[in-house]
Amino acid sequence: MSSVLYDLPGPRARVRNRIIGAVTVLVVLGILAWVIWRFAATGQFSPEKWEIFTYTRVWVIIGEGVLATLSAFGLAAIGALLVGFVLAIGRLSDHAWVRVPVGWIVEVLRAVPVLIMMMLLYYGLPTVGVKMDPYWAVVIALIAYNGSVLAEVLRAGVEAQPRGQKEAGYAIGLRKNGVMRLILLPQAVRAMMPVIIAQLVVTLKDTALGFIITYPELLYVIKLLGSNAVYNSPLIPAALVGGTIYVALCLILSYIAYIVEKRSRRTSGSAGAELPLQDGTDTELIVAQTGAGRFGAGTA
């Protein structure tokens, strides 16, 4: 199938690709070596810069920052998924009085930067007599923005499904909500799972914006440690430690998402295999593949 999409490279093209790859690797290694040399030349690897990380209390503070980050991310991720599903269903509604307002809501929420939402909630609401905790300002802003993005992701996944999937559901007697819930949405979630996970990773990293409104998450703690003049302002070491923790959190999230996606595909495959085909028609084949026949038999 690969030869259908593009021509296979010949001997000269393979040599050229290898040369370009080798040059790219050398350039990246050269930049990395230069950065390490500059760090070493400016004393960023000196014991004085890293002394602050030898204290247990410092790691306790960092742990508290990680917990605050995960706390905001966990609630924001769940809320964004729920809001995304609701807005996506509203965007797919046949009723214009539902579809049009929901569409405007999605576009407005996607257009406003997350940081502006946080600042409006934390600094703007007190001007009208409403005081909001930094935690809720971070969570609500993340839910609003990422929920609107996930709504568009799910809508695109549903509309990308073949038309026969919907027709197969109607053919076995399902109503529109049954077709959406049992056939289209499960397939859309599986198809768009990489995009959903990528957006959740963005949600995790966007919690770092909370330090601007004094939410004590990981970046807020790292900034405080890096600006500590008593320990020679270890900004670079603190940034390296914080960046490593963020990378580890994102890798853990990606691995969990990979396990969930793998199990969901295995479950959907076994569900489709349990349904026998009788006449070999296209409708029965689609229903068997999606598992709609298994769940929709009682509904029909």
159-173 pLDDT, tens digit per residue, is 777 777 777 777 777
Mind listing the pLDDT tens digit for each residue in 37-62? 998 888 888 888 898 898 999 999 99
**Closest Cα to residue 109, out of 89, 73, 80, 69?**
80
Distance CA 243, CA 205 (A): 10
Check residues 189 and 29 and name the one with the higher pLDDT.
29
Residue 15 token pair: 């040599």
Distance CA 210, CA 115 (A): 8
Which has the minimum average pLDDT: 64-68, 81-85, 98-102, 177-181? 177-181
Mean model confidence pLDDT for the chain: 82
Q: How confident is the model at residue 179 (pLDDT cuts 50, 70, 90)?
A: confident
**Amino acid of residue 182:** L
Report the alpha-carbon angle 218-108-190, nearest 5. 70
**Closest Cα to residue 188, out of 212, 211, 166, 216?**
166
Which has the minimum average pLDDT: 16-20, 251-255, 275-279? 275-279
pLDDT of residue 298: 41
**207 phi/psi in degrees, rounded to 5:** -60, -20
Give, in order, the Cα–Cα distances in Å from 152 to each of 145, 180, 244, 283, 292. Answer: 11, 16, 31, 28, 24
pLDDT of residue 6: 61
**Amino acid of residue 173:** G
Q: How confident is the model at residue 274 (pLDDT cuts 50, 70, 90)?
A: very low
CB 186, CB 199: distance < 8 Å: no
CB 296, CB 169: distance < 8 Å: yes
**Amino acid of residue 47:** P
- Highest-confidence segment of 91-95, 129-133, 268-272, 273-277: 129-133
Residue 190 token pair: 């599986």
